[in-house]
Structure 1
Amino acid sequence: MPDNNALLLDNQLCFALYSTSLAMTQMYKPLLEPLGLTYPQYLVLLILWEQDGIGLKDIGERLGQKSGALTPVIKRMEQEGLIDRTRQLHDERSLNVRLTPKGRQLKSEAMKINQCLLEACGIPTRELIDMRDKITTLRNNLLKHQPK
């Protein structure tokens, strides 16, 4: 006899990850709003705070997105004075993205956001780090099995 519980929505790992991702993203919205940032912009800033002056393609790879999908986010960030875009010398088709002083200045505010999120999770930091590492391993294993 088949296990009827196997297909219950609440028993699906994919749904647990999906709904948690939605809840996490929604948690960021009111924290980022006072800074004038959207969640995708925040992710781009995290990358640039780590490694400034990298290619748009590199940012896309880090986020698991095609650079074309990032173009509207990057253009808006440039219009808001957070970043500058320049053509790469060796390849006119490629863009480098660099933080402006305004973009660098937001980093200190982001530390407060991170602390609010940690508190909202209600799980000890060490457990959150372990969970993140397991989810990262899961993602990497799934990416290995995706069709090319």
Structure 2
Amino acid sequence: MNKSEERVFGSCFGSISHILYYMSDQRLKQLGITHQQGRLLGLIYDNIKAHHVISRHYLEESMDLRGPTVTSLLNCLEEKGYVIRTISKEDRRAMELIITPKGEQLVSDIREVFNSMEEKLLQGMTKEEILTLRTLLFKVYDNLLKS
């Protein structure tokens, strides 16, 4: 493969990423939440449902964000009434997060946004094409992690 073909892939991935981010951001704004707030709320929800202990450090690592950013996102989610933060009874240095019913509804709405985006992304593809795309994207992802 020559250099110009490689640039086409990079440009294509960049354009797709930009379009997906922009479209999801517009839909999430209608729900009154940012992309990062939505990701964090979904992460918290999934971990609570799985009965995992959630630490700020875990959220930082999972979201690939710094502590103050995670704290700011948590503050916004708490101010909007989506989560409640309390001090752990077992370890006073740790926090416990509770998703409110309003937060659970928002998670459902967010998942609906991302599911509809995925449907749009895969529109017109056969099941076989979707499986091939998934396999290839996982290979691309693995290649990037090896770098």
Same fold (TM over 0.5): yes
Query: How many Å separate the matches in 2 of 1:49 and 1:129?
Result: 28
Show the 5 A alignment for 1:120-135: 120-121=120-121, 122=123, 124=125, 126=127, 127-128=129-130, 131-132=133-134, 134-135=136-137
Q: Is the 8 A contact 2:82 2:100 kept in 1?
A: yes
* Structure showing greater relative contact order (alpha-carbon pairs closer than 8 Å, 6 or more residues apart): 2
Query: How many Å separate the matches in 2 of 1:60 and 1:133?
Result: 28
Q: Is the 8 A contact 1:56 1:97 kept in 2?
A: no
Q: Is the 8 A contact 1:83 1:100 kept in 2?
A: yes
Q: Is the 8 A contact 1:84 1:100 kept in 2?
A: yes
| TM-score, normalised with respect to structure 1 | 0.71
Query: How many Å separate the matches in 2 of 1:81 and 1:66?
Result: 23
Q: CA RMSD in A?
A: 3.0
Q: Which residue of 1 aligns with 2:100?
A: 100
Q: Which residue of 2 aligns with 1:57?
A: 57
Shift of 1:9: 8.0
Q: Which residue of 2 aligns with 1:74?
A: 74
Q: Report the 3-state secondary structure (helix = DSSP H, G, I; strand = E; otherwise coil) of the residue aligned with 1:54.
A: coil
Alignment length, in residue pairs? 140
Farther off after superposition, 48-57 or 22-31: 48-57
2:113 is the alignment partner of 1:117:
no
| TM-score, normalised with respect to structure 2 | 0.72
Q: Which residue of 2 aligns with 1:11?
A: 8
2:43 is the alignment partner of 1:24:
no
Query: How many Å separate the matches in 1 of 2:131 and 2:65?
Result: 24
Unpaired runs of 5+ residues, structure 1, are: none
Q: Which residue of 2 aligns with 1:43?
A: 39
